Every structure is written in C-alpha cells, then in structure tokens.
Structure 1
Amino acid sequence: MKNIFYNTKRRSLVLVCALALGGLGACDDSFLDVEPEGSGRASDFFNSQQDALEAVNSMYGNLREWNNIAFAWLAVSTITSDNAEKGSVPGDAGFLDDFDDFTVTSTEGQLNGFWVGQYQGINLTNQVLANVPDIEMDEQLKARLLAEAKFIRAYHYFNLVRVFGGVPIVSKLPETLEEANPPRATKEEVYNFIISDLQEAAAVLPVSYDAANVGRATKGAALGMLAKVQLYQENWQEVLNLTEQVMSMGYSLTPSYADIFTLSGENNIESIFEIQAMTIPGNCGASNSQWAEVQGVREQFGWGFVEPTEDLVNAFEEGDERMEATILFRGEVTPAGDKIKETVPNPRYNQKAYVPGSVTTECGYAKDQNIRILRFAEVLLMHAEAANELGMIEEALESVNRVRERAGLEPIASATQEELRNIIWHERRVELALENGDRFFDLVRQGRAGEVLRAQGKQFKDGVNEVMPIPQQQISLSEGVLTQNPGY
C-alpha cells in the first residue's frame, strides 16, 4: 500500500505582502485515519516529535494542492509545449488557451495561483526548519526531517525559477516587514540556493525507507534532483558525477514501460520521487489528487484537459512501446478493459493520468494516481546528455540505448556529438511526455523554444516567452518591490 501524507489540521498564518504563506497541516501515524479538521495557533504546535512529523507530512500533502498540480502547473509546463493543447471542449476554462497561444498576461489568475501554491509550500518547509530544531526528540529523526524540508523547498524553488526566472528567496520565517517583502533575487542566486539545499539534504537523507515511509524524499531523490538542476545550468561534469552516483544506488528500469503508470507500478524500482495520491474514504480532497481527474477522458473519467498533439503522436518511432502507454485514443480499449467512447470530445488523452473505471471512489472521478516527478530513466538520459557534451560518446550511447531498448527500439550504433545531442533530446521528449512537465522547460534550456513552438502555430516571442510574467497581484501586494519580466 502506498503511503499518503496529507493535511488534517488547518492553522492560520498571515498573507504577507508578495508572499502567499500557507498553514500547517498534519496526519497521524497511520497516514490513513484522519482526525476531524479544526483550528489552532502555530504557537500551540511544534512541541513534540509527533508535531514535527505532522508538520513534515503537511509539506508532502501540499505537493498535491490544486495550485501545484492542476490547472496552474499544467498550464505553465505542458499546455505551453508542443506536447499538448488545452483539450476539453471550446469555452471550458478558455483562459488556458492564453497559455497555449502565449498571449497570457500578468493578470491571469492561474499565474497567481501557481505563485501562491509554490510559496505556500516554501512557507511550510520554513516552518519546519525554524521550529523543529528546538524540539526535544530523536536527533537522527530530527536531522532527517530537516533534510526532507530542504529537499521540498528546493523542489518548489526549482519550479519557480523555471517559470519566472529570478524570484524572491525566503530562507526563513519573516520577522520584519523588509524580510516579509523581499525583492527578486537573480536567477543565478535562486539556482545557488537550490543547490545548497539539495546538497545539504543529500548528505543526510537515507537511501531508502521502511514500508511505512515509502514516498518520502531519499538520498537518490536529492542527488537526482541536484543533477537536474545542474543540467539546466549546463554544468556537465557535475551532472555526470551526480548521475553516476544515482546509477550506483540500486535503481533499475522497470521491464515494461506501461507498467510504470499503473496503480500497481507506483513507487517501483525505477521510481526516485513521486507525489503520492490515494483516495481515503471520508477525506475527499485531503489525500487524493486532481492531476488525474483534470486530464481524465471527458464524459468518462475526468475533465478532458491537456490533449496530446498530433505532433507528439508523430514523434514516436514505429514500434516504440511508449506511445501506447502515453496516449489514450478515442475508441480504444484499455488494458484494464475500459472502452473509450467513440463520442468523447477529444481524439486523444493523457494515458499516464488514466485510472481504470474499476477503481471506485466516493470522491467522484477516480483520482488515485501518483505523479511521477523523477525516474531512473531520466537519470540515464541526463547522464547521456552530460557524457555527450563532454565528448564521451560511447558512455552516452550506452545510457541512451538502455532507455531505447526498454521501449522496444533498436540501439543507436554510432553518432556524431551533434547527432547524438538531438537523439537524446528526442528521447527525453518521448520518454517523459505528459508526465512531469519538463517539455517546455527543456525547449527553453536547449535554446530552441521559439523555433519549435512557432512551427506549431504558437505566438512565442524570443526574449520574452522563455519565462512567464510575474503575477500583477503579487507586484501590487509588494507595493512595487517586485519587478516585472521584460516584455510583459
């Protein structure tokens, strides 16, 4: 059984200037039985080891929060890419078309929601980092919980810096008005902050957990995420070193690609970090995720957003087993026996978000689907990309071919550095499509977002649309301390 870390207690904190600060949440030892919701003051909390555990659990629960995994996240990361269009039906959530077309403005509500969701998560981690050190408790457990908080904080900042560029760095709970309303740091400063958090987390986090704690951040998760952060900065030797560390930690590719995205395939031998989600009777919204609901087949399993493009379909080579596991077509019968109606509005849906109709839930559409954030296959592709950029062609071919062969494809026998670079970029697209929101950010870091996206009819402007506008609501709350990105 997967483990769920979710919020059961809401405590009010202040919305200060430009930073949306969230409340503390908790769950009990079983992660399954939920206490009734109530209210309390933060000063009444952080007194015991159990309080520390509950505070850390709330960080994980917040990862599933609407702003962090639904419309806002899908808009900035996936609908902006060449992998997907808005989907659903015309007029339903029409504001998402602005992300698809790159006509989005700073007043668009999903941008503000995304900002709020990420900083709410950062506030939860800062609550832990500020208060847990003073609790009398098992010191080894304390160190681990603080490391988990640093990992989650780094994850939120990685999302923010890729979407907005430089953002305010809030490294502790604000004590003054100035600390509560910081200006934007540079992109480089944000990346350095992320690297520091991940390095400190990796030094403490365990390689694995017992069955009761599966789903928490591990050393492999911290090292793998650090490799990804270095990838975005083209620090190739660092990427190579970090991925080789992860490759020696016991992870391996799941034999069948399709099995990864089944409910039974969650937290498997390939998984490095997943956002946990499972419906808990009596707690709709507390433990499950609307990531799957939002993208489920409209009129059958969900709302029908994030429609895979024909361009993505055509990107898969003949015989690539990943296509069937990624795209759910109108009229097909799934391996679980569900017939997708011929009359559903869209020709294609995200199969990685599919939950079989046999999985019943009292919460409406099925929402029991973990969100895969980092897998071993991506580590191999990062290793291949770094090796190739360092001129280590044979090593790069070995790693990329492990991914290709699992997909049922012939290995690449030889390639020039430039040819292999394009092969690896292509493999990232088809391996990770519609999964963890990387495609748009990959195009930006590769320096070809404008070329690729304009070819799909998008109104992408070079020098502007590589990042999103800072939400106007946050600029207003900051009384002008926050500045807008160029071109918006």
Structure 2
Amino acid sequence: MKRIYISLFILAGLFSGCSDDFLDVDQTDKIPVDVEYLNTDSKATELVTSIYNQFLSWDMSSFGWNGVTSIISDDADKGSDPGDTGADKDVLDALTYNASTPSFESVWKANYAGINRCNQALTYLPQLDKVTPALRNRLIGEAKFMRAFMYFTLVKGYGAVPIVDRLANIPLTPEDKEMQLTRRPVSDVYTFIEKDLAEAAELLPEKSTYSGNDKQRVSKGSAYALLAKVNLYLKNWQAVIDNCDKVTGYTLVADYSSQFKLEGEFGSESIFEINGVGSPTSDQKLGIGNYSVSQAPRGAGGWGWGFNTPTQGLANAYEPGDVRKNATIIFRGSVLYDGTIVPSTVTNPMYNYKAYSSDFSNLEFTDTNLRYLRYAEVLLMKAEALNELGQTSAAVPFLNQVRHRANLGDTPAVSQADVRTAIWKERRVELAFEHDRWFDIVRTGQAQAAMAADGKTFVVGKHELWPIPTFFIRESVGYSTQNPGGY
C-alpha cells in the first residue's frame, strides 16, 4: 500500500506537544485546503491510505505499543539485557509505571494523530463530487472503521477519553478546546464507536470484491467483526453472536503458522491486517518502525534488541502437540522456517516468532504485518457469547474448530464454567502476541490471579486502566482528571 503524506493538512495542535501553550496555534499555520486537488479517485484514495500508514509509525505500532499491551501482561517479559530498561519497559513489566511513563503518552498521541487523519478524510470526502460515488462511499466507510478501531484502543486502555469527532478550528474556539480536553464517559465512547462501525458496515464492500492491492483494505466483514468484539467487551452477548454471523466469506487457514509469513498475508482468515510494506522508492521506507528488530534475538549471534520475550507461563499454556507453540515462540538453539539458525548464545531463551521477518535488507523497517482481526477470533467470540447465554452445547463446536486446526482434539470441558475457562485459555494461545492478552485478562476479571502467577502484583481498582498521560492532565485542568489509583 503506497505510503503518502498529505502536506495540505495541519494537525491543528491536537495533542501535538507537551508545552503549556500547545493549544495556541498561530493563525499563519492555517493553510487552506484545495479540495479540487483531492477531487480525483486516486487522490481521494491516497487521503484514506494515509490513515492506514499511521499504523506504520514507531509510536502507533512498535516499541511503546508492545510495552503497554504485551510486556505488561503475563504473556511477555521485558527481555533484552537486565540493564537495558527500554526507556520504560522494565516498569511496565513490573506494573510499577505511572502517568509519566513514556509509552502511555506515545500510544495516546499516536492514536489521536490517527483519529485526526480520519477526521480530515471524513471532512473532505463528502465534498469531492468528481470522485466515483461508490468509491467515495467506500472510503468514508474505511475512515469510519479506522476511527472506531482507534477509539476502541483508547477506551480499552484509558477508559473515558475525549471524543474528537471533527477537525478543530484554528485558532481553537472554546468549544474545540472543550472537545479536545474533556474525557467523555466510557458509555459515550462505546456508543460513538458502535455508530461509526454500523455506518462503516453499510458503506464497505465484501472482502471478495477486492483485488490486487485493495485486498489490504478493510471490508464489511472487518466492521462486523470489530462490532462483535466491541460488544464482547460490553457483554452484549446476543449482539456478539449477531455480528459474528455477519462475518461471512472467511475460513481458517489449514496451516496456523503460514498466516504469519510473507506468503500468508491477507489470506482467507485475515479480517483486519496492517501491511508492513510501503512503496520501496528512494524517499520512502519499508515496514513498521523497528517492530521486528526490537523483538528479534539479542546477543551473540542475534540480530535484534530482544524485547517482548515470551514468559514460561505462556510456553506452559500450550497443550502437548499444539502446533501454535512453535509458530508463536522462537526458542534459543532452534532453526527457523527459512533456515535461520538461532544460536545457543543469544541472551534470552525465547522470542516472539510472530514478529519475525525473513527480510534482513533493512532491519529498521522489515516486512512483518500486524494481524489485528482473524476469523479464528470470530469463532472464539461466538463461542464465548453462546456459552455466556447458557447455550454451552452450541458454543463447544466453535471452540473445537479452533482447536482442531491447532492439531488438538475436542475440548474435554462440558459445564458452562469449564467451557468458559477453556475459551479464555484458547484465546491466550491462539492470539498470543497479537495485542489482546492484557485487555482479555482485565475484561474477564482474570488479571489479579494471572499476574500473581507471573510474580506480579495487579492492584484491583488501579491497574484495570492505564494512567492518563501527565501532559494531558496538565493541559486539561478544569476539564479532566486522572484515573483512580494514585497515579
């Protein structure tokens, strides 16, 4: 997918800096937008492609994101050398972080920068009367999906957050300032997300209609799958089932490991996947900034920084014969699928295989994709919802579909409580290192026990939500306050 940056748009100072006057944008910075420049199919498409490209940034998808979703959980350790803190990965791992921990700030800013790109697209696309109407509608649907996805990330992590649903004026009006600095109730954020996704689902095509590079773009199935996941968090079980049933045209791939390799990208199981390759021109770079190298084996014979390493608890969670274990974990002394030898001299005993890339031409920007929604999760979401509604016998076959692909037999679980535990465990081993584990253990109430088993202290009433970054709290005096827990 071509990486483009629209120079016409100014971010309007939206959380763009940490200084006390970050809201004071000089009037000369307001550059008029030439709508006619965008009024072609190709330019309109590039406008929305710039939203996808936000996911290629270091702050959006790399070091800090791994820290707050993976290293923080019981699936991963900081890794690396004991003395290398990774800026803040040590305190994330130990759950001793605070509101000034940098990764929380970078994730906040990156998502709001992405939301700003969505708002730019949603402002100008309706004005482009020379763009093919069907394409324009599809692009609006893509922008709404992306905005919903970013708000889902924010509300899962931080709880109540500002709903910035339009471009701000420059200079900012009092209404703009209130919009940007007022944390809205969690229920309002979820309502906003559901509205965006419902509208996106109406506008987006089925995945089967895409061809060529367009296969990388979100589809109707993407919107329904994310709606199902949103309702999973809200415990709206029937809505989970209804939306899962609308995710059609997808199948599990036969070989679990294949979907994390170059040849398996955007396959039959892929519902929302970020392409890790931009256009390899002289002034453009490839891939998600340092995503692969930051997680690659470290030390003698290694080729990376060695962060975000699997815990022994995760390794032990796989049943004997589960093919997902060796597709998820790189073991010291093993040989990888492309013949690469992981010498016994590397620092850590295990590494994240899903972040591995065979392309070593540029270690900073490798070709690894990010998989955010897969059909396997749709099956597990439907199983969980059916079980929670007391339809346990109907839930088990969906759980078993996922198990069978992993070379496992039927679940031995029978009762509702045992099936619930089995589904939660299946989510852990199926989706490991796909940025779900922390949110899963929090939403299901497992966090305190899971982190205790990992030797960490999860404080109930505090750690369910990330701290709101210090810079925002400082700027939002009179509008917003910090999350509970003494941050």
User: Do these two structures clear the TM 0.5 threshold for a shared fold by scoring above it?
Assistant: yes
Equivalent in the alignment of 1:418: 417
Q: Deviations over 1:111-151 (max 9, x none)?
A: 11111000000000000111111112211111111110000
**433, 437, 440: which is aligned to 1:439?**
437
Equivalent in the alignment of 2:91: 98
**51, 55, 70: which is aligned to 1:78?**
70
Structural mapping, 1:374-453, within 5 Å: 374-412=373-411, 415-435=414-434, 437-453=435-451
Structural mapping, 1:238-249, within 5 Å: 238-246=239-247, 249=248
Is the CA contact 1:355–1:366 (under 8 Å) kept in the aligned structure 2?
Answer: no
Is the CA contact 1:381–1:428 (under 8 Å) kept in the aligned structure 2?
Answer: yes
Is the CA contact 2:296–2:356 (under 8 Å) kept in the aligned structure 1?
Answer: yes
Identity %: 41
Give me the whole-angstrom Cα distance separating, in 2, the residues matched to 1:235 and 1:404: 25
Instruction: State the superposition RMSD in angstroms.
Output: 2.0
Give me the whole-angstrom Cα distance separating, in 2, the residues matched to 1:254 and 1:431: 13
Equivalent in the alignment of 1:333: 335
Give me the whole-angstrom Cα distance separating, in 2, the residues matched to 1:278 and 1:212: 11
Is the CA contact 1:302–1:365 (under 8 Å) kept in the aligned structure 2?
Answer: no
Equivalent in the alignment of 2:204: 205
Give me the whole-angstrom Cα distance separating, in 1, the residues matched to 2:88 and 2:12: 26
Equivalent in the alignment of 2:26: none
Structural mapping, 1:200-239, within 5 Å: 200-208=199-207, 209-239=210-240
Give me the whole-angstrom Cα distance separating, in 2, the residues matched to 1:371 and 1:482: 33
Shift of 1:44: 3.4
Range with bigger deviation, 422-431 or 47-56: 47-56
Equivalent in the alignment of 1:54: 46
**130, 149, 174: which is aligned to 1:155?**
149
Give me the whole-angstrom Cα distance separating, in 1, the residues matched to 2:326 and 2:201: 36
Shift of 1:280: 4.1
Equivalent in the alignment of 1:123: 116
Shift of 1:445: 0.5
Shift of 1:394: 2.1
Give me the whole-angstrom Cα distance separating, in 1, the residues matched to 2:365 and 2:334: 19
Q: Does 1:43 align with 2:40?
A: no
Secondary structure of 1:314 counterpart: helix
**154, 165, 174: which is aligned to 1:171?**
165
Secondary structure of 2:272 counterpart: strand
Is the CA contact 2:6–2:47 (under 8 Å) kept in the aligned structure 1?
Answer: no
Shift of 1:177: 3.3
Quick one: structure 1 residues 145 and 42, their matched pair in 2 at CA, closer, same or farther if it must change by over 3 Å? farther
Is the CA contact 1:360–1:366 (under 8 Å) kept in the aligned structure 2?
Answer: no
Give me the whole-angstrom Cα distance separating, in 1, the residues matched to 2:283 and 2:428: 34
AA of the residue aligned to 1:305: F
Shift of 1:91: 2.7
- Provide the TM-score with structure 1 as the length reference: 0.91
Query: Runs ≥4 in structure 1, deviation > 6 angstroms?
Result: none
Q: Deviations over 1:311-334 (max 9, x none)?
A: 000000011110000000011011
AA of the residue aligned to 1:85: D
Quick one: structure 1 residues 125 and 12, their matched pair in 2 at CA, closer, same or farther if it must change by over 3 Å? closer
Q: Deviations over 1:56-113 (max 9, x none)?
A: 0100000121111112211111111100011111232151111111111111222111
Secondary structure of 2:246 counterpart: helix
Give me the whole-angstrom Cα distance separating, in 2, the residues matched to 1:321 and 1:127: 44
Equivalent in the alignment of 1:32: none
Structure 1, unmatched stretches of 5+, are 22-38
Equivalent in the alignment of 1:30: none
Is the CA contact 1:81–1:100 (under 8 Å) kept in the aligned structure 2?
Answer: yes
Equivalent in the alignment of 2:24: none
Is the CA contact 1:103–1:459 (under 8 Å) kept in the aligned structure 2?
Answer: no
Give me the whole-angstrom Cα distance separating, in 2, the residues matched to 1:483 and 1:17: 18
Quick one: structure 1 residues 9 and 171, their matched pair in 2 at CA, closer, same or farther if it must change by over 3 Å? closer
Is the CA contact 2:99–2:468 (under 8 Å) kept in the aligned structure 1?
Answer: yes
Shift of 1:283: 5.3
Range with bigger deviation, 183-192 or 286-295: 286-295
**306, 309, 326: which is aligned to 1:307?**
309
Secondary structure of 1:328 counterpart: strand
Is the CA contact 1:8–1:286 (under 8 Å) kept in the aligned structure 2?
Answer: no
Is the CA contact 2:293–2:363 (under 8 Å) kept in the aligned structure 1?
Answer: no
Is the CA contact 2:292–2:357 (under 8 Å) kept in the aligned structure 1?
Answer: yes
Is the CA contact 2:72–2:93 (under 8 Å) kept in the aligned structure 1?
Answer: yes
Quick one: structure 1 residues 167 and 285, their matched pair in 2 at CA, closer, same or farther if it must change by over 3 Å? farther
Shift of 1:391: 1.4
Is the CA contact 2:250–2:269 (under 8 Å) kept in the aligned structure 1?
Answer: yes
- Provide the TM-score with structure 2 as the length reference: 0.91
Quick one: structure 1 residues 40 and 238, their matched pair in 2 at CA, closer, same or farther if it must change by over 3 Å? same
Equivalent in the alignment of 1:180: 177
Shift of 1:414: 5.2
Quick one: structure 1 residues 62 and 94, their matched pair in 2 at CA, closer, same or farther if it must change by over 3 Å? closer
Equivalent in the alignment of 1:481: 479
Number of equivalences: 462
Range with bigger deviation, 318-327 or 6-15: 6-15
Give me the whole-angstrom Cα distance separating, in 2, the residues matched to 1:179 and 1:52: 26
